[in-house]
Amino acid sequence: MPLNLADAIPDTSSPEREFLWTLNFGPQHPATHTTLRLILTLDGEVVVHAIPDIGFLHSGFEKLGEHLDFNQYVTIVDRMNYISPVSNEISWHHAVEKLLDIDLTPRCKYIRTIFAELMRIHDHLVCCGAAALDLGAFTAFLYAFNLREKINDISEVASGQRFHPSYTRVGGLLCDVDDVWITKVRAFIKLFYAAYADLMKLLQRNRIFVDRTRGVGVLTKEEAINRSATGPIARASGVTRDLRKDQPYLAYKDFDFKVVCSTEGDCYARFLVRMEEMVQSIKIITQAIENIPSGPINIDVNSKFVVPNQMSVYRSIEGLIQHFELHMTNRQWETPKEEIYAATESPNGELGFYIVSDGSGVAYRARTRPPSFIHFSLFPHLIVGHQISDIPAVLGSINIIAAELDR
């Protein structure tokens, strides 16, 4: 059993392997975007062996999850995958709500669905834009980031924060959305198609982009299944799994959309799957935004799961008691002493939470199933046999978010 990193690096000193050389890639390198390190063994420019060395951003999120209550931990969760923050919040509260057996109000379900899909577009825009940037297509990146800004504005209108909205709460949302928000989402739908067409025109048939991504980093269907790939990466390899269809959570069963798949499994297929998923997402948003039900966003206060609004805290004794109960650290939620695994389809793949509950309002164990972590373990397999210049293409196509990778 090798005990440390030095033991794992292949020995290149023996005469029959002396043509190999070792290159340290990162932890600070523009093409890695975030802090991750690769130790590459190269034959000329061809990668023969790659060892990812991760953990530079490890900050003990899962340990914190054992000390913060269900509503507090949401602020940590949306810092995991910071390019689709609301997806993480929805996933976390999806697990908590399953543990508490909460059925959300229709309005809350619709708003959460719209947010989840906006975040999917946000994530895919950043991913495709940054992947193109690494391959030299700077313009595409700017077009993608311009559109992404609009989604940040939508988050700001809803929650007051652009980047880390912390918008969901147990059994509901932080606050209701208003007409300005709905107008902004409608405006975004109009803007999207134009920007999407620009992005496709810049990349889809771009000779350099296609040459550098097609046939690079091929993941077969068998390998994708065996190595636990989920989300767009698995779907680009022909695995037709999508939690939105398999276990329809939130309001997904009300909408008409397709699961986007490809059979190629290379970087170009992953790019195309992401681009087409954005179109499906905008289809869901278009259907949802015109049909948002009226009514409350939080479930009934009598269920003792949601924080009552300010008016009932100040004007009624029940509201005051409920507010006190949920905010005192020795009281809070009463949870069943059980364990639950619940997952949602985050932009990057299956984002799951496994909660072990000891009956209190703080998880005894809050395990995250991070898609980035699992997808990065594919990387050494994908890159072997390719050239060193293919590393940015493969890294960009599997969309590694280091904060989620290291947690």
Angle between helices 179-203 and 267-289 (to 10 degrees): 150
Check residue 136 and report its DSSP letter: T
Q: For another protein, which residue of 148, 164, 323, 369 counts as binding (CB under 8 A)?
A: 369
- Under the binding rule (CB under 8 A), the answer on residue 225 touching another protein is yes
C-alpha dist (Å) from residue 376 to 58, 151, 382, 383, 395: 15, 27, 10, 11, 8
Count of residues of this chain found to bind another protein when the rule CB under 8 A is applied: 53
CB-nearer residue toward another protein: 58 or 201: 58
- Under the binding rule (CB under 8 A), the answer on residue 247 touching another protein is yes
DSSP secondary structure letters along 215-227: TSS---HHHHHHT
- Under the binding rule (CB under 8 A), the answer on residue 3 touching another protein is yes
Q: What b/e string do you get for 111-134 counting C-beta neighbours within 10 Å, with b at 16 or more? A: bbbbbbbbbbbbbbbbbbbbbbbb
* Shortest Cβ 96–another protein spacing (Å): 12
CB-nearer residue toward another protein: 85 or 352: 352
- Under the binding rule (CB under 8 A), the answer on residue 60 touching another protein is yes
Q: For another protein, which residue of 276, 365, 384, 388 counts as binding (CB under 8 A)?
A: 365
C-alpha dist (Å) from residue 267 to 136, 140, 398: 15, 17, 8
**Residues 6 or more apart whose Cβ sits within 8 Å of residue 228:** 374
Segment contacting another protein by CB under 8 A, of 53-61, 85-93, 196-204, 315-323? 53-61
- Under the binding rule (CB under 8 A), the answer on residue 58 touching another protein is yes
CB-nearer residue toward another protein: 214 or 221: 221
- Under the binding rule (CB under 8 A), the answer on residue 274 touching another protein is no
Q: For another protein, which residue of 12, 161, 228, 332 counts as binding (CB under 8 A)?
A: 228
Give the footprint of another protein on residues 115-174 (CB under 8 A).
none
- Under the binding rule (CB under 8 A), the answer on residue 377 touching another protein is yes
Q: Give the integer Cα–Cα distance in Å for 59 and 56.
A: 9
CB-nearer residue toward another protein: 181 or 333: 333
CB-nearer residue toward another protein: 79 or 227: 227
180 touches 157 (CB < 8 A): yes
Q: Which residue has the tokens 């993608």?
A: 144
CA triple 204-209-210, angle to 5 deg: 65
Q: Give the integer Cα–Cα distance in Å for 357 and 365.
A: 7
Q: For another protein, which residue of 367, 384, 387, 388 counts as binding (CB under 8 A)?
A: 367
91 touches 80 (CB < 8 A): no
Q: Which residue has the tokens 């680009």?
A: 236
Q: For another protein, which residue of 206, 230, 262, 399 counts as binding (CB under 8 A)?
A: 230
CB-nearer residue toward another protein: 331 or 337: 337
**Residue 12: left if φ>0, alpha if ψ -120 to 50, beta else—which one?**
alpha
CB-nearer residue toward another protein: 99 or 267: 99
- Under the binding rule (CB under 8 A), the answer on residue 407 touching another protein is yes
Q: For another protein, which residue of 1, 256, 290, 330 counts as binding (CB under 8 A)?
A: 1
Give the footprint of another protein on residues 336-355 (CB under 8 A).
336-343, 350, 352, 354
Beta bridge partners of 387: 46
* Shortest Cβ 263–another protein spacing (Å): 15
Q: For another protein, which residue of 8, 142, 187, 197 counts as binding (CB under 8 A)?
A: 8
* Shortest Cβ 289–another protein spacing (Å): 29
CB-nearer residue toward another protein: 214 or 241: 241
Q: Give the integer Cα–Cα distance in Å for 50 and 363.
A: 37
- Under the binding rule (CB under 8 A), the answer on residue 4 touching another protein is yes
The 84-123 contact track toward another protein, x by CB under 8 A, reads --------------xx-x----------------------
Copy the structure tokens of residue 289: 């935004």
Copy the structure tokens of residue 227: 């190595």
Q: Which residue has the tokens 């390998």?
A: 223
**Of 227, 236, 232, 252, whose CA–CA distance to 350 is shortest?**
232
* Shortest Cβ 260–another protein spacing (Å): 17
Per DSSP, the three-state class of 180 is: helix
Q: Give the integer Cα–Cα distance in Å for 280 and 38.
A: 35
Binding site for another protein (CB under 8 A): 1-5, 7-8, 54-55, 58, 60, 62-64, 66-67, 98-99, 101, 223, 225-230, 239, 241, 246-247, 336-343, 350, 352, 354, 356, 358, 364-365, 367, 369, 373-374, 376-377, 406-407
